[in-house]
Amino acid sequence: MGLQCGIVGLPNVGKSTLFNAISSGKAEAANYPFCTIDPNVGVVTVPDERLDTLETLVKPQKVVPTIIEFVDIAGLVKGASQGQGLGNKFLANIREVDAIVHVIRCFEDDNIVHVEGRVNPIFDKDIIDTELQLKDLESVDKKLQRIEKAARVSGDAKAKAELEVLLRYKNALEDGKNARLVDATEEEKRAAVGDLHLLTIKPVIYVANVDEGSLPNGNKYSDQLREAVKAEGADVLVICANIESQISEMSEPEEQQMFLEEYGLTESGLSQLIKASYSLLNLITYFTAGVKEVRAWTIQRGWKAPQAAGVIHTDFERGFIRAEVIKLPDYVQYKSEAAIKDAGKMSVEGKEYVVQDGDIMHFRFNV
């Protein structure tokens, strides 16, 4: 399954610099608004030490990691919900992503123009939140008009229940709250707003883009941001886009690690962002391993074996018979699939098996 994260923020907060550093794409980083007019898509392979372990054990012809797509979306300005700047394009692009990476400027630099004339992370966050909320409110109001009429004319209980949930979203958005904070069950969300593709219902990670001297823990601006999003329960990652840019130009892992250690970091911003994205979207990885290929596959936590098989090919899910499952520690201990079988460490699972992170799987199917 493809995973796509949209990098958003006001102009000149470091979005494109960060994007260039973490992806294979090359957006133009410039000191003026709207240098990124169309969304740039960068494909990032997900680092996973377990793949390296399997490669050593299996010695396949090739290794295929899983990937994340990062989309650099045009900078937003006040009034975007009414079409100001590149607002309509921005809002259309953001509807397509699975999660939002909201980059917020948490550094001072007189040489880089701030679109609002000052560094204020809370104000910056509120600008984007407000514009997205206004667009969501417009969507909710349109549906409310339809549902109110249906509930009034027919007296239908289902329509009345949907109306009540929609009003919850309307009230929250009017109060300046994001849709993701509305208290509603998954069933209520699907019925009432599932077809609206609300912007503020998408999960979000905040990136506090700080100066080099503020690593690794951040500064007063990133502290303000953490406090402001505490109620959302959202992650705030402290990253220096300029440092990430320098790391991306280093080809040797040892050189990268030494560079990170100089700033008191144990891992790159990219690694932090990937881990946070997986956690945010409740994703896990399972593996297939054979002489031809060792490969990582991304699925939702809680998926059962047939659903996981369907990520490889729909026929695997449709004709699922069973799954043969090996745990990585057993592979490390016994060194080969044959030895694992002889030791009785390969389990045979049916349709109700819930796939675990790190499972090595082989599917039997018939169509």
Residue stretches of the annotated binding site = 12-17
3-class secondary-structure state, position 73: coil
Residue with tokens 């090595």: 360
CA pair distance 307, 356, nearest whole angstrom? 13
Q: Which residues pair with 285 in a beta bridge?
A: 298
How many C-beta atoms surround the C-beta of residue 194 within 10 A? Answer: 13
List, as one string, the DSSP characters of 258-269: HHHHHTT-SS-H
> Residues marked as binding for ATP?
12-17
Q: Which two tokens stand for residue 349?
A: 């699972």
Q: How many other C-beta atoms can be found within 10 angstroms of the C-beta atom of residue 240?
A: 27
**What is the strand order of the sheet 40-45 is part of?**
40-45, 67-72, 4-8, 99-105, 204-209, 236-239
H-only helix segments in 155-177: 157-174
Residue that has been written with the tokens 């990520």 in this structure: 311
Nearest to 247 by CA among 278, 274, 270: 270
Which residues does residue 44 pair with via DSSP β-bridges, in sequence order?
Answer: 68
For residues 241 and 16, what is the distance between their CA atoms, to the nearest angstrom? 9
